[in-house]
């Protein structure tokens, strides 16, 4: 029972360590995310500046994984030269080693102080930056507290026969120890947490120096896997960068595992303290990789290009959604808005294509619009999943409202695309197949309503991006104009049918279906204006006038 309690305490302390790391990263990204990303992008004028950028960014974020994902996203969109991006990655490795040195310092009171300051700053701050700083300080305090708890738990483990047997087996199987540490770093998404844990085990005498060195090698290898997995669906350059980083760390990890015993003996001669030896092995690993691979960034890039060639056809997918900025809601929401605006451009092309088909019916319009509708559906699915992941973070009221607005507009655009593809293009297809023609007056009315709809589509894009109340009023007023145009056109069409105008009689249902579909499209487009007007107090719950609402007795007469 005692061993079970010790294991629970150890796992709980490890979980608190990971949570503290997450809070530091989240807090820093929310407080300085935009500035930090801009600083990384600008600080890559040469390979030495790029290394420094990687070191400083990782010290701020306490996560080389976060730095790697940010850098990969920049490399993917061309904001950073691939060689300089690789230099940033090498710097990130050094940054996480320096962070391990800082966090391994024995300053017990600092954990309590950081928790106190972090909670105070978070509670007193009214703005996102202040709350982010408070969150980061609280995360640092929790992380230091977790390290103290791990240190308290590992002491009794030295007397555990089971632990001694397990670790003895690891000492005799370095390859398995390497894989185990890599898996732990992968699961934790942090090589830093695993290295600190190994350092505590080494200081308690549970891990021998050669085994500690091997576990450090495995932690470094495992820490390169999460960035590679995170960018699998991004651009070619992002995949090349993270693959090269994984290969570089893999070469270093295998080499260090092979020479673990002489490396441990060398470090023991200088550093008799086992914990310091572990941290020194981590620093030495990163520095050796930096010295060996910084001069050969060009060949590394060429090998990565051979391993991940550019596809023959252009890559389809999102252009702006970047998982690396999910910890910075302002940037993530801007990316989602830009992707949604891209969807609206595709829907606008669909609408314009269906108008052309009405004017000049042909057999190929439906298939062309259907392909565009498939793109709209795929992009909308990506946007919704992206916003869902963003909503799982703690958003303030304004960010949550904006996320809802983007989601709503994206869904309405998807409905518009379905109406164009399944309604308007179907009408155009029937006209072409049956060799029908609208009457001259009927076609003119339909074209006028189409042009009004296209204008409203463009207006809705502007309202979505600017949130301008005056333009929102114009969009809602335009919806009323569309309803009036639809009603007058339907009335005129029915009159022509009564007069037995041949073209009107033949296309009666198609004409009315087209009017109805365009009216529905305008209703979806106008919905983007409602949240803006609601916040201004200019939106009623019902369009009915108060004196038009009947009392129950009056209604029954």
- Give 413's pLDDT tier (boundaries 50, 70, 90): very high
Mean pLDDT check: name the lowest of 227-236, 311-320, 398-407.
Answer: 311-320
- Give 164's pLDDT tier (boundaries 50, 70, 90): low
CA distances from 20 to 30, 41, 102 (A): 15, 27, 15
- Give 355's pLDDT tier (boundaries 50, 70, 90): confident
CA angle 394-76-386, nearest 5°? 30
Sorted by sequence, the CB contacts under 8 Å of residue 494 that are 6+ apart come out as none
**pLDDT at residue 445 greater than cutoff 80:** yes
Write down the mean pLDDT value for the chain: 82
Contact 450, 355 (CB under 8 A): yes
The predicted pLDDT at position 317 comes to: 67
**Distance between CA atoms of residues 539 and 478, nearest Å:** 15
The predicted pLDDT at position 555 comes to: 41
Share of the chain above pLDDT 70, in %: 85
Residue of 236, 229, 194 whose CA lies nearest to 14: 194
Report the SS3 class of residue 133: helix
**Distance between CA atoms of residues 88 and 459, nearest Å:** 43
Q: Could you read off the pLDDT of 22-52 as tens digits, one per residue?
A: 788 777 777 766 666 666 666 667 888 888 8
Q: Could you read off the pLDDT of 390-406 as tens digits, one per residue?
A: 877 777 778 888 889 99
Q: What is the pTM of this model?
A: 0.63
The predicted pLDDT at position 550 comes to: 45
Report the SS3 class of residue 439: coil
């Amino acid at each position: 029972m005692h061993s079970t309690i010790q294991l629970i305490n150890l796992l709980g302390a490890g979980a608190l360590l990971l949570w503290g790391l997450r809070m530091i990263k989240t807090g820093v990204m929310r407080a300085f995310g935009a500035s930090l990303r801009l600083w990384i992008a600008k600080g890559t004028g040469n390979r030495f500046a790029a290394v420094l950028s990687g070191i400083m960014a990782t010290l701020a974020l306490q996560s080389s994984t976060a730095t790697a994902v940010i850098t990969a996203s920049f490399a993917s969109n061309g904001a950073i030269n691939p060689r300089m991006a690789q230099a940033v990655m090498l710097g990130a490795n050094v940054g996480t080693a320096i962070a391990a040195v800082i966090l391994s310092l024995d300053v017990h009171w600092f954990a309590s102080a950081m928790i106190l300051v972090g909670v105070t700053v978070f509670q007193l701050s009214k703005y996102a930056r202040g709350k982010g700083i408070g969150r980061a300080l609280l995360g640092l305090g929790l992380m230091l507290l977790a390290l103290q708890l791990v240190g308290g738990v590992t002491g009794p483990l030295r007397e555990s026969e089971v632990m001694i047997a397990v670790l003895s087996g690891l000492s005799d199987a370095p390859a398995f120890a390497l894989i185990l540490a890599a898996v732990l770093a992968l699961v934790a998404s942090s090589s830093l947490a695993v290295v600190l844990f190994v350092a505590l085990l080494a200081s308690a005498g549970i891990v021998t120096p050669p085994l500690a060195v091997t576990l450090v090698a495995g932690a470094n290898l495992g820490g390169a896997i999460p960035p590679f997995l995170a960018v699998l669906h991004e651009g070619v350059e992002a995949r090349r960068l993270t693959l090269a980083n994984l290969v570089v760390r893999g070469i270093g990890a295998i080499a260090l595992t092979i020479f673990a015993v002489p490396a441990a003996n060398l470090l023991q001669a200088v550093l008799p303290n086992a914990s310091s030896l572990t941290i020194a092995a981590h620093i030495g690993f990163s520095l050796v990789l930096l010295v060996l691979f910084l001069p050969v960034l060009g060949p590394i890039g060429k090998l990565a290009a051979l391993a991940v060639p550019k596809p023959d056809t252009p890559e389809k997918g999102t252009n702006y959604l970047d998982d690396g900025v999910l910890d910075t809601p302002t940037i993530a929401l801007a990316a989602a808005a830009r992707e949604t605006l891209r969807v609206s451009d595709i829907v606008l092309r669909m609408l314009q294509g269906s108008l052309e088909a009405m004017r000049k019916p042909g057999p190929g319009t439906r298939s062309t619009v259907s392909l565009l509708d498939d793109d709209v559906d795929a992009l909308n699915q990506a946007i919704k999943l992206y916003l869902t992941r963003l909503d799982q973070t703690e958003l303030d009221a304004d960010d949550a409202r904006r996320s809802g607005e983007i989601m709503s507009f994206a869904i309405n655009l998807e409905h518009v695309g379905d109406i164009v593809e399944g309604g308007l293009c179907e009408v155009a297809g029937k006209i072409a197949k049956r060799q029908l023609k609208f009457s001259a007056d009927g076609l003119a009315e339909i074209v006028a309503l189409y042009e009004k709809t296209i204008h409203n589509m463009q207006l809705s894009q502007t309202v979505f991006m600017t949130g301008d109340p005056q333009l929102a009023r114009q969009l809602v007023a335009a919806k009323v104009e569309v309803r009036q145009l639809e009603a007058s056109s339907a009335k005129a069409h029915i009159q022509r049918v009564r007069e037995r105008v041949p073209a009107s009689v033949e296309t009666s249902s198609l004409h009315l279906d087209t009017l109805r579909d365009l009216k529905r499209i305008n209703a979806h487009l106008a919905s983007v204006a409602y949240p803006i007007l609601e916040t201004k107090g200019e939106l009623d719950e019902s369009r009915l006038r108060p004196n038009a609402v009947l009392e129950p007795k009056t209604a029954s007469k």
